[in-house]
Amino acid sequence: MNDILIQNTTAFFEKSFGSAPEKTVLSPGRINIIGEHIDYNDGYVLPAAIDKVICFAFEKSNSKTSKIIAIDLNEEFEIDLTQEVKLSDVVWTNYIRGVIKQLQDNGFSFEGFNCVFSSNIPVGSGLSSSAALECGMIFGIASLFDLKIEKKDISLLGQKAEHWVGINCGIMDQFSSVHGLENKVIKLDCNTLDFEYHNADFKNYSLILFDSNVKHSLFTSEYNTRRIECEEGLSILKNHFPEIKTFRDASEEQVLNLKDKMSPKVFSRVHFVVKEINRVTKACAALDNGNIELLGELLFETHYGLSQEYEVSCEELDMLVDTSKTDENIIGSRLMGGGFGGCTINLVKKGHENEVKSKFSKLYLDTFGIELKFYDVKISNGTTLL
8 Å CB contact between 353 and 206: yes
Long-range contacts from 76-85, C-beta under 8 angstroms, 24+ separation: 81/110, 81/111, 81/112
Q: Which is nearer to ligand GLA, 37 or 97 (CB)?
A: 37
Q: CA geometry: angle at 186 spanning 333 and 154, to 5°? A: 120
What's the sign of the alpha-carbon dihedral 128, 134, 137, 139?
Answer: negative
By C-beta, is 173 or 311 nearer to ligand GLA?
A: 173
Confirm or reject binding of residue 37 to ligand GLA (CB under 6 A). yes
Length of the chain: 386
Q: Judged by CB under 6 A, which stretch of 143-151, 167-175, 238-246, 257-265 contacts ligand GLA?
A: 167-175
Least distance to ligand GLA, CB of residue 121, Å: 13
Binders of ligand GLA among residues 169 to 228 (CB under 6 A) are: 169-170, 172-173
- Give min distance, CB of 333 to ligand GLA, in A: 16
Is residue 81 classed as helix, strand or coil in its secondary structure? coil
Q: Which of 36, 229, 276, 311: binder of ligand GLA (CB under 6 A)?
A: 36
Does 158 participate in binding ligand GLA (rule CB under 6 A)? no
What gap in Å lies between CA 65 and CA 114, rounded to an integer? 8
Among 24, 114, 128, 333, binds ligand GLA (CB under 6 A): 128
Radius of gyration of the chain (CA): 21
Number of residues that bind ligand GLA (CB under 6 A): 11
Please, what is the minimum distance in Å from the beta carbon of residue 170 to ligand GLA? 3
The DSSP bridge pattern shows strands 44-45 and 184-189 to be antiparallel
Instruction: Tell me which residues in 285-324 interact with ligand GLA (CB under 6 A).
Output: none
Which 327-356 positions form the footprint of ligand GLA (CB under 6 A)? 337-338
Q: Which residues are catalytic?
A: 173
Q: Which stretch binds ligand GLA (CB under 6 A): 35-43, 76-84, 90-98, 375-383?
A: 35-43
Residue 125: which residues within 8 A CB-CB, separation 6 or more?
Answer: 209, 211, 337, 341, 342, 343
Q: Summarize as ranges the residues that interact with ligand GLA (CB under 6 A).
A: 36-37, 39-40, 128, 169-170, 172-173, 337-338
